[in-house]
Homo-oligomer: A and B are copies of this chain.
Amino acid sequence: MDIHQLTRDLHTKGDSKIVMLVADGLGGLPMKPGGPTELEAARTPNMDALAARGIQGASLPVAPGIAPGSGPGHLGLFGYDPLKFLIGRGALEATGIGLELQDGDVAIRCNFCTLDQDGKIVDRRAGRIPTEESAPLAKRLRQVSIPGIEIIVEPVKEHRFVVVLRGEGLGGNVRDTDPQATGVPPLDPVANDPDSQKTVEVAKEFLVQARQLLADEPKANFHTMRGFASKPALPSYREVYGLRAAAIAVYPMYKGLARLVGMEIVGQAQTLDEQIQILQDQWDAYDFFFLHFKYTDSTGEDGNFEAKVQRTEELDEAIPRISALNPDVLIITGDHSTPAYLKSHSWHPVPTLLVSDCCRPDGLTQFNEGTCIRGGLGHFEAKYLMCLALANAGRLGKFGA
């Protein structure tokens, strides 16, 4: 019996409200031995006050030692076992630029490349062609026409763009055409299973037409196809938790991930202030709110410790406005740590704080990388956080009699 079988059977209705505030990349490392971590360095009086009322723990996004990308990181927080529910690269890329995939779609990440006159790749990224040159070329590929197939082409950045194939009987299990080498021609797409054979035929025809459309380009005279992926089949928040869920995010990637689990995307906030305004406005319409704050991750990725500390403090300052809504359950967590020291997502457990009137407070009065490992939630897999949220919200019945 997995988590969702339990929550499907046990969830109950109610009017309680859950807010999950995801500070992307929350938690870090000392920049030098003996130094403070990002959360230790930040002045966070509001989080510390919540810690005194709440219970904290160290959440493992996937498994010990495993640093997740945004996809598995968020799936875990949403309660979907990230080792069971995999989002293919193409689907994630499409999601990240705001394309709304439908059941049966196949999404493909594409890279413009440069071929020599013999058809061999001389540059796998077309000289990292700038976006202002590549975007019109991607849009030109919208002229590709294949009977019975709807084709969506969307520029991403530099040499990258996304193709979505929409039609009957398209499987997503197709090998990359990028040979990962220069001096050789691109590979033909090959199906890994019979259900993906039609996708291969469509992809081949797309490539034939694309080659003609790009033939005269000096740099981007062809493209490869990578990370073929069907829309992942994720049961919805409403089905597995009985929750009307809203996502309040600024960036397309996180809106997209939320949409994949059936959350509704509300508002078009560009700032944290606007996000909280939307939270207030939508308070009565939903049971669960996913608030995504990006900048604790991006500053970590930049290796900018001071900026990450500052962004953490900025988040802390916003918390009273959230608390003022009196959510029955307020969770502050991250999808993974992004230590400025590593300039990347990491495997370290994520400080996670849960406040409710029945959370069993653990007596800690601060909230950071050092305190969370001694918290009452212990070290736990992120995929269980939603069960804790539901339980603390009075939305989960007894298991067995």
Contacts and interface: CB of A to CB of B under 8 A. Distances in A.
B29 A63 contact: no
Contact of A86 (B89, B344, B400): B400
A93 B401 contact: yes
Given A66-B391, A363-B370, A384-B63, A401 B92 contact: yes
Interface stretch (A148-156, A209-217, A281-289, A374-382): A374-382
A396 B72 contact: no
Counting every copy of the chain, the complex holds 2
A67 B37 contact: no
Interface stretch (A97-105, A310-318, A354-362): A354-362
A344 B10 CA distance: 15
Given A65-B396, A373-B378, A401-B70, A391 B53 contact: no
A144 interface: no
A218 interface: no
A400 B358 contact: no
A82 interface: yes
Contacts of A73: 400
B384 A65 contact: yes
A63 B349 CA distance: 19
Contact of A33 (B53, B64, B363): B53
A398 B83 contact: no
Interface residues of A, number: 69
A358 B380 contact: no
Nearest to A87: B400
A324 interface: no
A292 interface: no
B379 A378 contact: yes
Interface in A341-365: 341-342, 344-349, 358, 360-363
Given A374-B374, A384-B65, A391-B67, A401 B89 contact: yes
Contacts of A322: none
Contact of A66 (B62, B86, B387): B387
Contacts of A62: 399
Contacts of A363: 370
B64 A387 contact: yes
Given A10-B66, A30-B361, A373-B376, 5 more contacts: A1-B83, A63-B384, A69-B401, A73-B400, A344-B398
